[in-house]
Amino acid sequence: MAKPIPEAELRAIEKSLKEQPDAISRAAIAEVLGTDVPPRTLQSHLRYLVDQRRVMTVGEGRATKYRLAKEAPQSVNESVELWPLSKSAKEVQGIVSQPLIKRKIVGYNKDFLNSYRPNKTAYLTDAERAHLRKLGTVPIGNQPAGTYARQIIDRLLIDLSWNSSRLEGNTYTLLDTKRLLEFGKQAEGRDRIEAQMILNHKDAIEFLVNTADEISFNRYTLLNLHGLLANNLLSNHLAEGRLRRIEVGIQGSSFLPLAVPQLIEEYFEQILNTAQAIKDPFEQSFFMMVQLPYLQPFDDVNKRTSRLAANISLIKANLIPLSFLDVPRDLYTQAILGVYESNRIELLKDVYLLPYQRSAQRYAAVRQTVGEPDPFRLAHRDALRHVVRTIVLKMYNRKDALKFIEEWSAENLPADESAQFMEVTEDEILTLHEGNFARYKIRPSEFEAWQKSWN
């Protein structure tokens, strides 16, 4: 396992940022710390703090600066306490926070589903749906289903794969996830099951986006969505994409899921038919987040399936997808337990509304930043040009390119600079396009030939 970062070193960085009125660069942080911290170590620590939402970045690439995320949690428990919750959501939180021995054992309540009437019953209020619609609408006109999701697919794959996996306890960082999805590079010291989980998310998201005109709330979509997410993760491979035929339990819960296969089949169909009949895409989305995991229709991977199923209606309607940004894992677990054990949706609703606002802010805003030239890129300008040009001329694919970057960095740069050079070069390769390849003295024919190998 990877060696944990001493908390004292992380606190020191946060303290240095707290003392600054504005965001500052990594070099300025090192100066404020006043200690002989290797650049590679500081870079690693900052990356960890950003992934944990304890530090936020301002600007991108060479203009990146850092500031303390005052609203961000210092620990998981604090994150739950600081999350803005409604009064009724706090009631649910109080109920599921009691010791398990004090919580009543309950089974599946069929009336919870049967009492829902599409377009008459609503989990989300008119005002909430109108607010979500305002946040999620993008100016793309009357375009085919999935058009907007395809425009942001690169960012969505990373965000949704990482956040949904993180809610399952996956320990990959955001950067680890990015390298895995873009270069096929598995993080050192991590279990293979974590890489499989993230890659499965990628496949499932691509399935939803690339076949947006074909998917719906039907058996084909949901069974295949589960099959993609559960691929190579279940002890019984025959259970991937197939409804449950065995009894299951929920760890840490007093809820006993339905055990009769015929009833699981019946209520699964009812959930799909009900969702399909709902007219509002946000109500459809949240309905699936509530009812699908409550039924537990699959042997495992039910919550993951519900989180991606919640995006079906949003993708089809060309609304901004939901990527579960900043949702604390403990809070999500409490929200799901509220549904399982009390059929209370208020906490899960809060865990849906605010993250959607965060997703809308991320994907709808186009940020342009102009900053001072990055001194590291400036100092390694020739090396960057050489490595990028070599990758293109030798027509390396993603895995070969990453291997070449790693080997070249290790052989030609000091140890305290190689990690940063690798990250910068990876960004240069991933952002190479028809409008900027000439800076590397690459000809159009060479760029075109490399793109075929790369893609």
pLDDT along the chain (455 residues), means of 10: 67 81 79 75 82 72 70 42 84 94 95 97 97 92 92 92 95 91 89 94 96 96 96 92 94 94 98 98 98 98 98 97 93 97 97 92 55 70 89 89 89 84 85 80 86 83
Tokens of 310: 């919640």
Please report the pLDDT score of residue 364 as a whole number.
67
From CA 222, how far away is CA 417, in angstroms rounded?
Answer: 47
Angle between helices 192-210 and 302-309 (to 10 degrees): 30
CA 314 – CA 285 distance, rounded (Å) = 7
Query: First-to-last CA distance in the chain?
Result: 33
Residue type, 286: F
**Complete domains list, the chain, with CATH:** 7-68 (1.10.10.10), 77-364 (1.10.3290.10), 375-454 (no CATH)
Can you give the pLDDT at residue 65? 80
pTM of the model: 0.74
- Say if CB 361 and CB 325 are below 8 A apart: no
- Answer for the pair 241, 324: CB distance below 8 angstroms, yes or no: no
The per-residue pLDDT for 21 is 67
pLDDT at position 61 is 55
**Which pLDDT score is estimated for 82?**
59
Alpha helical stretches, state H, 167-259: 174-183, 192-210, 219-230
- Measured in residues, the chain has a length of 455
d(CA 79, CA 72): 7
Q: Are the beta carbons of 322 and 355 closer than 8 angstroms?
A: yes
**Distance set, CA 187 to CA 5, 183, 208 (Å):** 16, 11, 26
In this structure, which amino acid lies at residue 214?
E
